[in-house]
Amino acid sequence: MINFSRTLASRFSRRCALAQVSVRNLELHECHAKELLNRHNVRVQRGLIAETWEQAQQNAVELRKLGARDLICKSQILAGGRGKGTFDTGFKGGVKVCESPEEVGAMAKEMIGNWLTTKQTPPGGQLVQKVLIHEGVDFEREYYFAILLERAYDGPVLVGSPMGGMDVEEVAENHPEQLKMIPVDVKEGVTDAQVDEMARFMGFEGDAIEDAKEQMKGLYDVFSKNDCVQIEINPMVQTTKAHYDSKVYCVDAKLGFDESTAYRNKEIFSWKDESMLDPREVEAEKVGLNYVGLDGNIGCMVNGAGLAMGTMDTIALYGGEPANFLDVGGSATEEQVELAFNVLTSDPKVRCILVNIFGGIMKCDTIAKGVIAAAKKIDLQAKGIPLVVRLAGTNVDLGKQLLNESGILIQVADDLDDAARKAALFVC
């Protein structure tokens, strides 16, 4: 359990860090996530989305007609910690409990059109373009529940804790005994015994145990039928007997989906909000490049994820800071290399470009031709952006010859250390 808790804390921390620069898998706004959960008979609050404060106030009126007592106004961004976030206007809190439709309208006016910064957003925050207005529920206890893909078990795992409503990273670090993980056989699916064990560990009591089990089964149904890589419910709550007869609700939901399955989940992927993503990553995705923007000033173009990570580490070793992770893959064309350069140079922080290619399926002479064409078309010399290129593998001699005879000022490196050292010298 202790090892798992450390792994979980580390994984969630990495996820939060990557959320600041890229989304490796599709993430949905809470409004869409809850819509999907509802389709699979998972209990969520009734809610309506709004793009203006007037619409938000009218939504609150409609919910009151349906019997809602408390009203919640939630900013819709792709980051957690909204309730403790701060807007660029100084207004605090992206989640507000309201007593009247008029108050909902007032809170929505403070949120829509402004930038909300939380622990999981980039430093400048994310622009709130919509708010979710939903009914509040009175609850006695909060729990944490998730379904994740876990490499250690080659499949999905149920994760639960009686300590819901707080950062799971803190629970994993400080209270590892309060986290439980149950592997699920993907062929057999989740069993009654597994959800019963989890519900009791989390602390559900009385009739709520059976209801919690049904909610967990519904969540696994969502996970297995929609190519999910993550379902995180924080918190899952047990409502009060006085008003809700101890029902179990999923009052917040974070869902992630495998992007390679977009072709068979077209409706879900139509909910993708590209305005929440780095525009460079959006452009890279359109041309089949794997790009993650970072905060450094040395642009990297590499083939292969492992080599790209090694290149970034080596740059840092020599005192430089990588501006991105860019994997052009193993079969990039000259046109894709040129497009990769366009993406790299669109970052105003980039002061040098390092190309590191190991030629296998992708031949070094093909890369050299693409690099030369891109450098000439973009006119890197006029932009004052030095270019360092390291080639190895198939047709490496021909590739180097093309670079040396191109008439362009290119620093040809002998190996990765040499390339990283030269790139770092340009920016340091």
Which tokens sit at 373? 């064409």
Is 144 catalytic? The answer is: yes
Whole-angstrom distance, CA of residue 50 vs CA of residue 335? 42
Select which of 30, 135, 142, 144 is catalytic.
Answer: 144
3-state SS of the chain is CHHHHHHHHHHHHHHHHHHCCCCCCEECCHHHHHHHHHHCCCCCCCEEEECCHHHHHHHHHHHHHCCCCCEEEEECCCCCCHHHCEECCCCECCEEEECCHHHHHHHHHHHCCCEEECCCCCCCCEECCCEEEEECCCEEEEEEEEEEEEHHHCEEEEEEECCCCCCHHHHHHHCHHHCEEEECCCCCCCCHHHHHHHHHHHCCCCCHHHHHHHHHHHHHHHHHHCCEEEEEEEEEEEECHHHHCCCEEECCCEEEECHHHHHHCHHHHHCCCHHHCCHHHHHHHHCCCEEEECCCCEEEEECCHHHHHHHHHHHHHCCCCECEEEECCCCCCHHHHHHHHHHHHCCCCCCEEEEEEEECCCCHHHHHHHHHHHHHHHCHHHHCCCEEEEEEECCHHHHHHHHHCCCCCCEEECCHHHHHHHHHHHHC
Whole-angstrom distance, CA of residue 344 vs CA of residue 293? 9
- 244 in the Ramachandran plot: left (φ > 0), alpha (ψ -120 to 50) or beta? alpha
Query: Cα torsion for 236, 237, 238, 240, to the nearest 10°?
Result: -160
Judge residue 263's burial from the number of C-beta atoms within 10 Å of its C-beta, 0-12 exposed, 13-18 middle, 19 or more buried.
exposed
The residue to which tokens 């009385």 are assigned: 206
Select which of 150, 232, 281, 338 is catalytic.
Answer: 232
Whole-angstrom distance, CA of residue 289 vs CA of residue 262? 16
Task: Return phi, psi of residue 83, to 5°.
Answer: -60, -30
Is 140 catalytic? The answer is: no
Q: Annotated catalytic sites, by residue?
A: 144, 232
